[in-house]
Structure 1
Amino acid sequence: MANAVWHKKLRILLDLTRDDLDHPELPDLWETVYKTDRFYGRLGVPVGERDLQCGGVCRDVGVEAPMHLRMRGGRREAVHERREDEERHTAPMSDEHKAYQERILRAAQEGGFNGDSEVRTRVGRSWIQTDTLVEGADGRRIGWEVQLSAIDPSGLRGVRARAAKAAKNGITPAWHTDRAAYAQRNDTHWTRSDHLPAHVIARNGDLRIVSGFRVLDFWHCDIHALYPCPHGVRRCGKAHATPKPRDVLFDDMVRRTAAGAIVPIQFRAGTTVHRYWVTNTDRDRLDDLHSDDTRLPPEREAAPVTGASRNRPTCQPTPAPITVRTSPSLTALPALPVQPPAPKIETDSTAGEAQKPHTRQAADDTSGLPSELITLQQAADEAHLQLQQLHDHHDRDLQRQVWRNAAAAVQTAVTRYARTKRLNRHEVEARLRQLVRHSAR
C-alpha cells in the first residue's frame, strides 16, 4: 500500500493523506477517481489497464506499478497489484547503506556543514526523496544517493530521471556505489568504493573512492604529444584535455563537494558524454579551453585533492597511474596579440530585465524572433569573444562570470518564449544562434 498515487490520464499525483488529494482546485476529486476505479473493477478491467500507478518509491526508481483503490475502516488505501512492487516499499535498508549515511553526515559536520537523511523535498505536485542531503556553502545542496544492492534494468532506467529532477530543483546529485557495473554508467555522476562490510564503513579509517574522480591533463597536440588526437587526425595543433583516474578520500569528497572545491562536469569524448567529478580549478581551466582551444589554459594554483592522514585505511588504495610530463617548451602556442577590450556588458541588469514579466515582445521582421532574444544572444556572444581575447588570469575569471551571466539570461528568455508560444525550445535556440552568428559575419 502507498499514500502517493500517479494518475496517468490526469497526469497528477494524488496524496491520499489529504482530504482534497492535494488538489483544492479540483472539487470532489476523490469521489470521481474512486468511483471510476470501482466501475472498472465491476467491468472486470485488469488493474494494469486502469489509470492508477504507484507515485512513491516505484515511480522514483522508474517502475510502473499498477494500483487500485479501496476503503478500509474509513481509511483510503491504494493497493499494489503485484507483491514485488509492495515489497519494494518495505525492503529493509542494509547495514552498509546505513553506515554510509552516518559517515556522510559525520564527514559533513566535521567540515562545518549540516545534513539529514531520508529527506523528502516538495517539488510542485510531487517530491524528491534523497538518501542524504548535505547543505553546503553558498546555498549549495548535495544529494547523496547510495546504491549498493542489485536493481533490475527498469530501475536503472530511472536513475537519469531522478538525477535530472534533483538537478532541476537545485540539488546536485551524487550517486555512490560499490558495484563496478554501475560506476561505469554515464547516466549521472557515479563514484565507487570497494565492497566493504558495515563496521569497516562506519569506522574513522580512510575510506577511498576508487572510481568517479578525475584530474585533467592539458596538453598541446603536436608531434611530441603522448596522447592521440581526439579528432582522429595526425596532429591538429590545438590544445586538448585528457581525464585521468585518481583516488580521493570519501570524507574529503563529501566536504569538498559541499564547499564547491570538487564539482561535477560533463566531458565529451567523441559521441559519448562522460560524467566525472573534478576540482573547481580543473573545471575553470576546461572552460578556458572550450572558449579558445588554440592555446593551453593558464596554470592555476590548487590545493592537493587529498593528503596524508593519521587514520588507518579501510581498504587498499588503488595505485595512481604513472604519467610522463611533456617538455615545458611545448606547453603553449605563441600567444596572439591582445585586441583592445570592448566595453563590458552589464549582464546583471540585462538578466534582471529578462526575468521581469511582460506581455508583449517586439519581433524581428525577418526571423520572427523577439528582438529581446536577439539582443541577449548578441550580448552573450560578445562576452564570449572578449573572453577569448584576454590573457590575464584575473581578467579571464571576471570576464568568464560576465559570459556565464549573459548566457544564463539568454537561456531564461528562450525558455520563457518557447513555453509561451508552445514551440520546441531546442529549435528556437538553434534558430536564434544561427540568425545572430550568421548576421555577425
Structure 2
Amino acid sequence: MANVVWHKNFRILLDLTRDDLDHPEFPGLWDLIYATDRFYGRRSVPVSERDLQCGGVCRDMGVEAPMHLRMRGGRREAVHERREDEERHSVPMSDEHKAYQERILRAAHEGGFGGDSEVRTRVGRTWIQTDTLVEGADGRRIGWEVQLSTIDESGLRGVRARAGKAAKNGITPAWHTDRLAYAQRNDTHWTRSDRLPAHLIARNGDLRIVSGFRALDFWHCDTSAVYPCPDGVRRCGKAHATAKPRDVFFDDMVRQTAAGTIVPIQFRAGKTMHRYWVTSADRDRLDDLHGNDTRLPADRDIAPASGASRNRPTCRPATDPLTNHAPKDLPYIPALPLQPPPPAIEAASPPTVEHINRARQRSDGTIGLPSELITLQRAADDAHLKLQHLSDNLERDVQRRVWREAAEAVQAAVTHYARTKRLNRYEVEARLRQLVRNPTQ
C-alpha cells in the first residue's frame, strides 16, 4: 500500500492522508476518483488499464505500478496490483546501491565537489527525488540514479519522463546500472559497470564503466575511409563522425561530469537516436561538423577521459579471447631469397599528380565535368582492358598495378571535384563512367 497515488489522466499526485488529497482547488475530488475506480471494478476493468499508479517509491524508481482504491475501517487505502511492487516499499535499499551512493560522494569530494544522497527537490505540487546529487562547477548539478533492481526491462518505465523533468529543473540526469538490458535503452544517458558485490564497489580500486562512454572518430567519406557511408551512398565526399566504445573509470566519470569535461550528447546513427557521454572537446567538434559537413572539424587538445592509475582494479580485467599469443618454441624457418625484379614490359604510364591537378582546374562546359576527369577515366579503362588480354602471370601482375594506380587517380580526382563543387560524389562518378563507356546515351 502507498499513501501517494499518481493519476495518469489528471496528471496530479494524490495524498491520501489529506482530506482534500492536497488539492483544495478541486472539491469532492476523492468522491469522484473513488467512485470511478469502483465503477471500473464492477465492470471488471483490469487494474493495469485504470487511471491510478503508485506515486511514491515506485514512481521515484521509474516503475509504473498500477493501483486500485479501497476503504478499510474508514481509512483510505491504495493497493498495488502486483506483489513485487508492494515489496518495493518494504525492502530496504540493497548494500550494492548504498555502496554506489557512497562511492559517488567520495569521488566527488576528492575532486573538490559537494553532494548528498536521497535529495528531494520540490517542483510545483510534485517533486524530484535523486539518489545522489553532485554539485559541480559553474552551478552544474549531476543527478546520479543507480538502478540495480531485478525487475524486467518492460517494468522499468517512466525513465524518459523522470529524466526530462530533472533536466528541465537544471539537473543533468546520469543513470548507472549493472544490467545489460537497461544499458541498451535510449530513454536517457545510461552507463554500465560489471555486476559486483558491495564490498568491491565500495573499496578504492579502479571501477570501470564498460558501456555508455564514447570517443568520436571524425573521418572523410572517400575511397580511403574504413567506415561505410552513413547516408547509404557509396562515397559522398562529406565528413562524418563515428562513436567508438571506450572504457572510463567510474570515479573519473563522477568528477569530470561535475567539472564539465565529460558531457551528454544525442548521437544519431541511421534512424536511431543514441544517448552517449563524450568529452567536451568531442562534443564541440561534433557541433562544428553539424555546422559544416564538407570538411573535418579542427582538433582540440584535451586530456584523456581516463589514464593510467596506481590503484588496484576493483575487478580482475577479462582476458581478451581474440589475442593471439605465439608459442614459445617454433621451428626455425630460413628466410626466402630475394626474387629478382620482374622484367619491364610495355605498359601505359599511370596518371601523375600533374594530371590530377589539371583535372581540378579545367572543365568542359558542354558536359559539365572537367575534361581531364574523362582523360583519367579513359586511361583507367584502357589499363583494365589491356589487363584482360594478357595471359602471362608476370605481365598481369605488372599491368594490375598500373590499372590500380590509374583507378586510384580517378577516384581522388572525382572526390576532390565533388567536394569542391558540393556535389554528390556517387552521381559524379556515375555520370563520368556513362560519358566514357556509353557516350551515345
TM-score, length basis structure 2: 0.66
Deviations 1:84-107 (A, max 9, x none): 331122223221111111100111
2: distance between equivalents of 1:134 and 1:216? 26
Within 5 Å, give how 1:383-402 maps onto structure 2. Answer: none
Instruction: Look up the match of 1:13.
Output: 13
Cα pair distance change 1:312/1:154, threshold 3 Å = same
Q: Is the 8 A contact 2:53 2:64 kept in 1?
A: no
Query: Cα distance, 1:311 vs. partner?
Result: 1.3
1: distance between equivalents of 2:235 and 2:319? 31
Deviations 1:245-269 (A, max 9, x none): 1111100100111111100111111
Query: Cα distance, 1:213 vs. partner?
Result: 0.6
Cα pair distance change 1:68/1:220, threshold 3 Å = same
Within 5 Å, give how 1:282-361 maps onto structure 2. Answer: 282-317=282-317
Q: Is the 8 A contact 1:163 1:173 kept in 2?
A: yes
Instruction: Look up the match of 2:24.
Output: 24
Matched, 1:152 2:152: yes
Instruction: Look up the match of 2:80.
Output: 80
Greater shift, 54-63 or 243-252, is seen at 54-63
Q: Is the 8 A contact 1:7 1:13 kept in 2?
A: yes
Deviations 1:305-349 (A, max 9, x none): 122222111124479999xxxxxxxxxxxxxxxxxxxxxxxxxxx
Q: Is the 8 A contact 2:186 2:275 kept in 1?
A: yes
Query: Cα distance, 1:30 vs. partner?
Result: 4.4
Amino acid at match of 1:221: C
Q: Is the 8 A contact 1:37 1:69 kept in 2?
A: no
Query: Cα distance, 1:158 vs. partner?
Result: 2.6
Instruction: Look up the match of 1:101.
Output: 101
Instruction: Look up the match of 1:215.
Output: 215
Amino acid at match of 1:99: A
Secondary structure of 1:157's aligned partner: coil
The number of equivalent residue pairs is 320
2: distance between equivalents of 1:75 and 1:112? 49
Amino acid at match of 1:158: G
Secondary structure of 1:223's aligned partner: coil
Instruction: Look up the match of 2:67.
Output: 66
Q: Is the 8 A contact 2:222 2:235 kept in 1?
A: yes
1: distance between equivalents of 2:220 and 2:59? 47
Deviations 1:366-390 (A, max 9, x none): xxxxxxxxxxxxxxxxxxxxxxxxx
Query: Cα distance, 1:42 vs. partner?
Result: 10
Query: Cα distance, 1:172 vs. partner?
Result: 1.4
1: distance between equivalents of 2:313 and 2:168? 37
Deviations 1:180-225 (A, max 9, x none): 2322222221111112111111011111111111111111122122
Instruction: Look up the match of 2:4.
Output: 4
Secondary structure of 1:128's aligned partner: strand
Q: Is the 8 A contact 2:153 2:182 kept in 1?
A: no
Amino acid at match of 1:136: G
2: distance between equivalents of 1:228 and 1:77? 59
Secondary structure of 2:87's aligned partner: helix
Amino acid at match of 2:112: G
Secondary structure of 1:300's aligned partner: coil
Cα pair distance change 1:214/1:226, threshold 3 Å = same
Greater shift, 201-210 or 43-52, is seen at 43-52
5+ unaligned residues in a row in structure 2: which ranges?
Answer: 324-441
Cα pair distance change 1:318/1:136, threshold 3 Å = farther
Query: Cα distance, 1:145 vs. partner?
Result: 1.3
2: distance between equivalents of 1:10 and 1:308? 53
Q: Is the 8 A contact 1:68 1:81 kept in 2?
A: no
Matched, 1:55 2:79: no
Cα pair distance change 1:110/1:17, threshold 3 Å = farther
Amino acid at match of 1:172: T
Q: Is the 8 A contact 1:40 1:50 kept in 2?
A: no
2: distance between equivalents of 1:178 and 1:164? 22
Q: Is the 8 A contact 2:53 2:67 kept in 1?
A: yes
Query: Cα distance, 1:126 vs. partner?
Result: 2.1
Greater shift, 43-52 or 151-160, is seen at 43-52
Instruction: Look up the match of 1:169.
Output: 169
Whose radius of gyration is greater, 1 or 2? 2
Instruction: Look up the match of 2:258.
Output: 258
Cα pair distance change 1:318/1:133, threshold 3 Å = farther
Amino acid at match of 2:168: K
Instruction: Look up the match of 1:232.
Output: 232
Instruction: Look up the match of 2:113.
Output: 113
1: distance between equivalents of 2:227 and 2:50? 57
Amino acid at match of 1:206: D
Deviations 1:385-409 (A, max 9, x none): xxxxxxxxxxxxxxxxxxxxxxxxx
Deviations 1:55-96 (A, max 9, x none): 223344342412214365x76543334433311222232211
1: distance between equivalents of 2:287 and 2:40? 58
Amino acid at match of 2:240: H
5+ unaligned residues in a row in structure 1: which ranges?
Answer: 323-441
Query: Cα distance, 1:2 vs. partner?
Result: 1.2
Amino acid at match of 1:78: A
Instruction: Look up the match of 1:89.
Output: 89
Cα pair distance change 1:69/1:222, threshold 3 Å = same
2: distance between equivalents of 1:279 and 1:317? 24
Query: Cα distance, 1:119 vs. partner?
Result: 2.1
Query: Cα distance, 1:121 vs. partner?
Result: 2.1
TM-score, length basis structure 1: 0.66
Matched, 1:132 2:132: yes
Secondary structure of 2:241's aligned partner: strand
Amino acid at match of 2:259: A
Deviations 1:344-364 (A, max 9, x none): xxxxxxxxxxxxxxxxxxxxx
Identity %: 78
1: distance between equivalents of 2:8 and 2:233? 51
Instruction: Look up the match of 1:387.
Output: none
Amino acid at match of 1:67: H
